[in-house]
Amino acid sequence: MPLDPLLQQFMAAAAAAAPGSAPSAEPEEIKQRRAAAAAADQAVWASQGVQTPEVPISVVTVEVEGAPDVNIRVHHPRLPHVPLPAIITFFGGAFRQGSNDFDSNRWIHASRAQDADVVVIAVDYALAPEHPFPAQQHQGVAVLNWVVAHAQELGVDPARLALGGQSSGGNLAAAVAQRNALGAAHPLALQLLEVPVLDLSGGHTNLTVLGELGLPDELFEAEVASLARLYLPEGTDPRDPAVSPLFREDLTGLPRTFILAAEYDPLRGDARAYLNRLRQAGVDAAGAIMLGQDHGSGGLVGALEGARAWHRTVVGALRELHQ
């Protein structure tokens, strides 16, 4: 399917405003890029005229061993609290930018809580390079343990608990699910991975998509390399299964999985490869490709029917937790 014409306009505007090179580790540059990303999210969201649903929200700080304590934002679909399915979710942003305060993320979390009738627990994890791997995974595991321990007071059914995330957040969700399978083994009902980054070496990049988007291979490769460089401690192999979930040898014990990819996402090869590996390991795994969409389409629900279809697809997957 051709790339959505409206999406092309957003992509052209984003490309014109984007820096022409991959980021360095200089603190001032990182600060400027984060501010620019937040401003861009605010501007794009404001241009769409979408209202974020009002749902009950509480913020809790979870203590973490070996990493900074982490705030979680708990979105309840309704009151009074009754035991409901829940998803612990991680936002995207190349591990180095983004937050639960982005307007797009506020809408995603509140809308999914409301439309899927689930508790959405959004993790405001620490950002690289100030906090490199494995801080984010330690935080994710701590949040999972805390939610299970406090399920009753949260109004959460611990038997219907999911992990999820977008892009780099999908990486964290997959990594936390793997750590859980190897450790505490809390019963997870679902992992929901959206356009996930699962191979930090870039080895599964879809070069055909790069050509269709008119993106130079070298620029994209530099971006992937910078993602790994800023997230990983020096000397860490980006193919290490601890950081690239796609390379974990033993995938048994993982929960039912739904992976959502975008047709015009150069990283869709990560999704396909992981889906195949999960199925080979006997995991109940399914996937969907959002036709005509790219890596960031999910935040354009006010402009793109494809983004609204993305939302409906995710809500449908979450509603299965009620069965």
The predicted pLDDT at position 20 comes to: 53
Which pLDDT tens digit goes with each residue over 182-217? 987 899 999 999 999 999 999 998 878 777 777 777
- Which bin fits 136, alpha (ψ -120 to 50), beta or left (φ > 0)? alpha
Q: Is-above-0.85 flag for pTM?
A: yes
Asked whether the beta carbons of 194 and 298 are under 8 A apart, the reply is: yes
Domain ranges of the chain: 5-15+31-322
**What are 37's two structure tokens?**
């990303």
Phi, psi of 111 (to 5 degrees): -70, -40
Asked whether the beta carbons of 271 and 287 are under 8 A apart, the reply is: yes
> Strand order in 156-166's β-sheet?
57-62, 70-75, 119-124, 84-90, 156-166, 190-194, 257-262, 285-290
Work out the widest C-alpha separation in the chain, in whole angstroms.
Answer: 53
Architecture of domain 5-15+31-322: 3-Layer(aba) Sandwich (3.40)
The DSSP letter of residue 27 is H
Which pLDDT tens digit goes with each residue over 19-37? 555 666 678 888 998 999 9
**What are 38's two structure tokens?**
């937040």
pLDDT beneath 70, residues of the chain: 1-25, 80-81
